[in-house]
């Protein structure tokens, strides 16, 4: 009996101890708030780690957790997490997808949280992109500037091409005489026997080196080619790519891939967005048209001499797309005060500069952008082609609209078939446009 009493007493004591332990941990938790931050880019996430380390030093009662969700799952997971109430407090969002979240009331009004004048410090083109219904819906984090062409200097030298000649290349779907771009691409495309695509003996089934990365890549290839030919992708939120000029540009790309074989086939690139990047960094592609978002990848992985040249000019000159990314605040967050502080830090010169310091991205805060240029200048990389191409203000808008994702699901498979050569460009574009516009008009 005595034993039993002792046992009960021991259990009671243990329970009390556990309870007090719980209580103790509760009080420490109450004094620090955790803010979660989600993005898709592993490279930039490392820069954020450093930035938030400093933020936590200045705000010891706030901890920031970074979650990297890969691009392939990002938009699906964002949607389901918002629906399930498990979304992070602050998250990256881009121009194509933010509209739906604005319209459903899931984003914080940045002007109301941080003051209307805060936007003056930020990259104006990004502020414009993310202003909907006269309200700014995110704190600009990075600015993509325009599209340019990375080149493999070793391969150019082998072919006897002066890199400076790349800046004068023009393409023309109507007048082959004016098309110096395709001629250059053929010269730089070489089969396993060392024959270039200019020659009759060229073996298209055994290509050892590609001239370019022309492919179904909306941002880096499709939009600049459509824009440089005077075509449209969207008119407002509606899809408008079935016009003659866009179809002509796409037809030009498809022929370059499937007839001239100067770029990898759609079977390689349609489902593998990194195929061309990898081919370029492996030294098997001479020209790689892309954005600043691949600068760090190229610089880390290319073990050959490389540089950056201007986007080739089309009949309407060089018309690039420009894009930005913002950090949006989750309107359903329970830690509004802490989120406000984090957003303030992300939009400050000090907090945002970390993205530029190690060259990961061009900071969205204008005053912090010098850090980026300094980094690449020290590395002896001239990034001016990315900025020169958009300096004259001639750009084609990046895809947008609250139902963009629904339209995308409709046109995407058809575009893939167009690039695979199984559907004629104009027919496919007309059908894709009708399907995509039907999807954004109709509500599921």
- Contact residues toward other proteins (CB under 8 A) are 76, 79-80, 82-83, 100-101, 104, 106, 205, 264-268, 270-271, 275, 405-406, 409-410, 413-414, 416-417, 420, 422-423, 427-428, 431, 435, 439, 443-444
Question: Do 300 and 316 form a contact (C-beta atoms < 8 A)?
Answer: no
Question: Do 241 and 429 form a contact (C-beta atoms < 8 A)?
Answer: yes
Q: Smallest distance from the beta carbon of 275 to other proteins, in angstroms?
A: 8
Rank residues 29 and 271 by Cβ distance to other proteins and give the closer one: 271
Q: Smallest distance from the beta carbon of 27 to other proteins, in angstroms?
A: 34
* CA pair distance 412, 398, nearest whole angstrom: 16
Rank residues 298 and 423 by Cβ distance to other proteins and give the closer one: 423
Q: Smallest distance from the beta carbon of 242 to other proteins, in angstroms?
A: 13
Rank residues 30 and 442 by Cβ distance to other proteins and give the closer one: 442
Q: Smallest distance from the beta carbon of 77 to other proteins, in angstroms?
A: 9
Q: Measured in Å, how far apart are the chain's first and last C-alpha atoms?
A: 70
Residue 290 per-residue DSSP state: E
- For the chain, give the number of residues: 444
H or E stretch covering 144? none
Rank residues 185 and 266 by Cβ distance to other proteins and give the closer one: 266
Q: Smallest distance from the beta carbon of 434 to other proteins, in angstroms?
A: 10
Cβ burial, residue 83 (10 Å; 0-12/13-18/19+): exposed
Rank residues 172 and 430 by Cβ distance to other proteins and give the closer one: 430
Cβ burial, residue 394 (10 Å; 0-12/13-18/19+): middle
Per-residue CA distances from 267 to 57, 180, 287, 333 (Å)? 50, 27, 20, 43
Ordered DSSP codes for 66-126:
EEE--HHHHHHHHHHHHHHT---SEEEEETTTHHHHHHTT-B--HHHHH-GGGGGGB-HHH
Residue 219 per-residue DSSP state: I
- Of 111, 46, 39, the closest CA to residue 70 belongs to 39
Question: Do 344 and 114 form a contact (C-beta atoms < 8 A)?
Answer: yes
Rank residues 177 and 205 by Cβ distance to other proteins and give the closer one: 205
Rank residues 149 and 440 by Cβ distance to other proteins and give the closer one: 440
Q: Smallest distance from the beta carbon of 265 to other proteins, in angstroms?
A: 7
Q: Smallest distance from the beta carbon of 174 to other proteins, in angstroms?
A: 26
Q: Smallest distance from the beta carbon of 258 to other proteins, in angstroms?
A: 12
Q: Smallest distance from the beta carbon of 102 to other proteins, in angstroms?
A: 10
CB atoms within 10 A of CB 240: 14
Rank residues 9 and 267 by Cβ distance to other proteins and give the closer one: 267
Rank residues 32 and 193 by Cβ distance to other proteins and give the closer one: 193
Chain position carrying tokens 């290319």: 302
Rank residues 93 and 365 by Cβ distance to other proteins and give the closer one: 93
Residue 259 per-residue DSSP state: T
List phi, psi (to 5°) of 140: -55, 130
Q: Smallest distance from the beta carbon of 269 to other proteins, in angstroms?
A: 10
- Calculate the CA 241 to chain-centre distance: 21
The two structure tokens encoding residue 140: 């600009």
Chain position carrying tokens 């030919």: 229
Q: Smallest distance from the beta carbon of 415 to other proteins, in angstroms?
A: 10
Question: Do 310 and 150 form a contact (C-beta atoms < 8 A)?
Answer: no
Rank residues 247 and 355 by Cβ distance to other proteins and give the closer one: 247
Chain position carrying tokens 């406000």: 340
């Amino acid at each position: 009996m005595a034993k039993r009493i002792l046992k009960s007493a021991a259990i009671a004591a243990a329970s009390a101890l556990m309870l007090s332990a719980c209580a103790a941990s509760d009080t420490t938790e109450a004094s620090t708030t955790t803010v979660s931050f989600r993005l898709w880019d592993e490279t930039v996430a490392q820069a954020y780690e450093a930035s938030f380390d400093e933020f936590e030093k200045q705000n010891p009662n706030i901890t920031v957790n970074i979650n990297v969700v890969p691009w392939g799952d990002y938009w699906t997971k964002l949607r389901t997490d918002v629906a399930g109430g498990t979304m992070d407090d602050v998250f990256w969002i881009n121009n194509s997808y933010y509209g739906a979240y604005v319209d459903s009331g899931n984003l914080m009004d940045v002007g109301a949280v941080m003051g209307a004048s805060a936007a003056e410090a930020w990259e104006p083109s990004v502020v414009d992109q993310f202003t909907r219904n006269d309200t700014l819906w995110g704190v600009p984090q990075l600015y993509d500037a325009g599209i340019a062409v990375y080149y493999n200097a070793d391969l150019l030298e082998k072919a006897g091409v002066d890199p400076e000649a790349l800046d004068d290349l023009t393409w023309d779907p109507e007048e082959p005489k004016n098309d110096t771009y395709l001629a250059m691409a053929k010269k730089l495309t070489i089969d396993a026997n060392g024959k270039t695509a200019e020659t009759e003996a060229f073996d298209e089934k055994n290509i050892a080196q590609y001239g370019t990365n022309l492919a179904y890549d909306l941002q880096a290839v499709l939009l600049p080619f459509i824009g440089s030919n005077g075509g449209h992708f969207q008119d407002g939120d509606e899809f408008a790519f079935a016009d003659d000029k866009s179809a002509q540009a796409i037809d030009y790309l498809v022929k370059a891939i499937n007839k001239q074989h100067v770029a990898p086939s759609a079977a390689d690139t349609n489902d593998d967005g990194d195929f061309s990047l990898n081919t370029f960094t492996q030294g098997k592609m001479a020209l790689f048209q892309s954005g600043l978002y691949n600068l760090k990848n190229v610089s880390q992985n290319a073990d050959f001499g490389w540089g950056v040249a201007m986007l080739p000019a089309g009949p309407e000159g060089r018309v690039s797309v420009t894009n930005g990314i913002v950090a949006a605040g989750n309107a359903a967050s329970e830690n509004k005060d802490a989120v406000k502080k984090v957003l303030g830090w992300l939009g400050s010169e000090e907090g945002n500069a970390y993205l530029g310091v190690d060259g990961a991205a061009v900071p969205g805060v204008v005053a912090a952008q010098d850090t980026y240029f300094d980094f690449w200048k020290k590395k002896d990389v001239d990034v001016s082609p990315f900025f020169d191409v958009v300096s004259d203000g001639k750009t084609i808008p990046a895809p947008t609209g609250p139902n963009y994702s629904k339209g995308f699901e409709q046109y995407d498979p058809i575009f893939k078939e167009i690039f695979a050569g199984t559907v004629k460009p104009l027919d496919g574009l007309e059908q894709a446009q009708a399907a995509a516009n039907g999807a954004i008009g109709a509500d599921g």
